[in-house]
Chain A
Amino acid sequence: MTEPITLTVNGLDYPVDVDMGRNLLSVLRTEIGLTGTKEGCDDSECGACMVLLDDQPVNSCSYLALQAEGKSVTTIEGVMPADGLHAIQRSLLEEGGVQCGFCTPGIIMSTRALLDGNPSPSEEEIRIGLSGNLCRCTGYAKILAAVIRTASDN
């Protein structure tokens, strides 16, 4: 049985029909067409699917789409400016914090939530803020450097 609901994503309302068991990630990608959010482990472990729900990071692979009704969803597409790069994206590029890039949208969403709540985090606070995001390429040191750089540029 599908249910018609309206999801608010990046400030826009999208009417969608969803099954009860459908996760938010698949609705974002296949119904709404926002494919920046990635599916990694599909088990809330890796953080590739991270989106913000009312400004807080949430693993969209393991969140029911129906439960997001009435909340504000922000995806990587909602963080990027119309042209150019967001400060977090620029720092990741400049520090070499991006290799294959698959984890990058999730890393950016967690960083965004971290810096919104705490504009000058300590290194330990950054490690904790990104502890739900796995990266298999960079070894994390460059990602950490990029977040430190974003915070100090602010």
Chain B
Amino acid sequence: MSFAIAGSLDEALAALAVGARPIAGGTDLVVGARQGKAPLPASLVAIDRLDELAHIESRDRGIRIGAMVTHSQLMIDQMIVSGYTALADAAALVGSPSTRNIGTLGGNVMNASPAMDTGAPLMVLGAVAQLRSARGSRTVELSDLWTGPGQTSAETEELCVAIDLPPRPARSGSAYVRLEYRRAMEIAIVGAAASVTLADDGTILGGAVALSAVAPTIIEVDDAGALMTGHLPDAAAAAVATAASDVARPISDLRASDTYRRHTVGVMAARAVDAAARRAAGEEIGVPVNRAIGVGASR
């Protein structure tokens, strides 16, 4: 058993190279170990003090979000709220203030839960993960990163250092909507994110839709862009609802049956398209959409 607090990124990468597992906020790792899901790794390196990974920065092409950025930071950051709103919607729904204060974006992405809230937004916004090890760096598409529930294609010695997002087109908007039974401390029953760009005549120029909690990983609705293009948002939302229910491969568990999940993910997808299109048209809808327009649990 060993525990070290990394003082620098190089120290963290050196620890990973000899078998340590990273711990950021520990809200998945420690809670999972205490629930008996998986024992605590024998060797841990704490990465939560790597300040260089705790920033959101604007770059030549888009923005870079450090892996240690917390949900609390994401939900109020001006660049995220104004340009990458679906991600702010998701961060604002995570757990409670205490979960959001220490839970990180890197932890959410690398924990790879099929019900993770930031996953579908990141996918529709075109995010890629930056992985680094003592031996080098690489960029990975999210669809290649998540390989199954709790599984990623990252090597054990690789740390996720950042998530990169491309610039947003003009007249675009995004939203993430989750079905929930209560308003806090909830795991998505199902969830859907949409990104939409509007043409001058109000029809949809292009976009993307991704779903949470209906498959072993977050999945994209591949034909969503084609289905929406050329249509007004209402018609686009209806088409996407059907396509989302069709691609969903949900499980039945204590919280919902597969039939219910399959149906409701279509409803959430339509609401996400609607909210994204309204934002694209310039309407101010507060973060998270769930609270602003009551699309999840109501009071």
- A positions within 8 Å CB-CB of B: 1, 3, 19-21, 23, 42-45, 47, 50, 53, 56-59, 61-64, 66-67, 69-70, 110, 113-114, 124, 128-129, 131-133
Contact = CB atoms under 8 A, between A and B. Distances in A.
Given A23-B34, A128-B184, A44 B5 contact: no
Contact of A20 (B35, B40, B183, B291): B40
Given A3-B3, A67-B26, A56 B48 contact: no
Nearest to A67: B46
A21 B31 contact: no
Contact of B101 (A57, A64, A69, A124): A57
Contact of A113 (B5, B27, B35, B97): B97
Contacts of A110: 97-98
A44 B99 contact: yes
Interface residues of B, number: 29
Contact of A132 (B5, B26, B31, B95): B95
A138 B192 CA distance: 35
Nearest to B44: A20
Contacts of B183: 131
A131 B31 contact: no
A23 B3 CA distance: 14
A133 B96 CA distance: 9
B102 interface: yes
B4 to A, nearest CB: 9
Contacts, number: 86
Given A59-B98, A62-B31, 9 more contacts: A20-B40, A23-B34, A47-B98, A59-B99, A62-B26, A62-B34, A63-B30, A64-B26, A132-B99
Chain A CB within 10 A, most for which of B1, B31, B96, B185? B96
B22 to A, nearest CB: 12
B31 A43 contact: yes
7 contacts: A20-B2, A43-B34, A59-B98, A62-B26, A128-B184, A131-B184, A132-B97
B44 A56 contact: no
B23 interface: yes
A1 B35 CA distance: 22
A23 B97 CA distance: 20
B33 interface: yes
B37 to A, nearest CB: 11
Nearest to B48: A67
A131 B3 CA distance: 32
A70 B5 contact: yes
Contacts of B31: 43-44, 62
Nearest to B96: A132
The 4 closest A-B pairs by CB, nearest first: A132-B96, A131-B184, A56-B101, A57-B98
Chain B CB within 10 A, most for which of A21, A42, A44, A114? A44
A44 B27 CA distance: 8
B168 to A, nearest CB: 27
Contacts of B30: 23, 62-64
B97 A63 contact: no
A124 B3 CA distance: 40
A47 B96 contact: yes
Contact of B1 (A1, A44, A53, A113): A1
B191 to A, nearest CB: 18
Interface in B111-153: none
A114 to B, nearest CB: 8
A58 B2 contact: no
Given A21-B40, A62-B26, A129 B5 contact: no
A128 B97 contact: yes
Interface string B33-68: 111000010001010110000000000000000000
A22 to B, nearest CB: 10
B40 A62 contact: no
A21 B33 contact: yes
